[in-house]
Amino acid sequence: MIEELSKICKTETDIDLTLYNTYKLHSVAYAMCFIKDIKELTSVLNILKKYKTKWFVIGNGSNIILPEYYDGVILKLTGFNKCILNNNELYVESNCMLNKIATKYTLEGYSGLDFACGIPGTIGGSIYGNAGCYGSSISEVLISAIVFDGRKIIELSCEDLKFKYRYSMLKENKKYVVLSAKFKLEKGNKKELKELMLQKNKKRNETQDLHHPSNGSVFRNPEGYAAGKLIDDLNLKGTRINDAVISNIHANFIINDGHATSKDIIKLIKFIQRKVKKEYNIKLVLEQEIIK
């Protein structure tokens, strides 16, 4: 199978994924395919289907917990990097970084994605998980997403994507690969937007642990509550399992304080969930995705 994949695109075997996830977990994958275009993607998916091999698409690795070994093939859409603004409609491909796109157009005086200037995910991953912060989310400015189901390219509306808080139907329909998206931006006051962005970045730097490897928020906020406050009120900041540690800056962050493994992080997640359930009878729902 590897020989067939290598004829289609750049393919690496036994690849170290440490630099492909923001937890900086040491993880090794059986193989990774670096895909330039839809033709390569189609051919690769056909081969994976033929050999009944499991796979997933990786973006910036900012919301996933990788295992120590992944016995499938990871797809990296390295060629999907176009970004075009036309009459306030932004077309952007899935491998583009959301924070870079948001910052660029906010500084040019366009509102819509200004809330996302600090979200370190790709466009594809951000749509997959309906990324957001400060009370806003991707779904509010998205017009549609263009996806590939292995056979044909489909344009899905927000209604089709069934967005909810930190959720899209793509989480249940793994056959879809996000290729690109269209966003609706509005022309605004450049100076005011820049000031707003700087204020949010300042708040982010003051309230979030950006100095250690992490995936950002671990749990979704339960309705009417802030997950971080629930954890903080239990005095759990600083709790560690080996090098997986609940951040002293933001209790809804788990950081890698050296050589944490996915097992360490998952054990700490379960510990937090048990404590919160016992004290408040609230089930904390994981925002991050455990890859198996």
* From 94, 217, 247, 262, active-site residue: 217
What DSSP letter does each residue of 251-271 carry, written as one string?
TTEEEE-SS--HHHHHHHHHH
Residue 94 annotated to the active site: no
User: Under a CB-based contact definition with an 8 Å cutoff, are residues 117 and 200 in contact?
Assistant: yes
Q: Is 136 a catalytic residue?
A: no
Structural tokens at position 101:
């796109």
How far apart are the C-alpha atoms of 121 and 215, rounded to whole Å? 10
Reference 236, options 246, 222, 250, 221; nearest CA is 246
DSSP state of 37: S
Report phi then psi at 282, rounded to 5. -120, 130
> Is 204 one of the annotated active-site residues of the chain?
no
- How many Cα atoms are found within 13 Å in the side-chain-facing hemisphere of 284? 29
| Active-site position among 126, 168, 262, 287 | 287
One DSSP character per residue, 190-201 reads HHHHHHHHHHHH
Q: CA 191, 195, 197 angle in degrees (round to 5)?
A: 115
Q: Give the active site residue among 166, 168, 180, 214.
A: 166
Residues with catalytic roles: 166, 217, 287
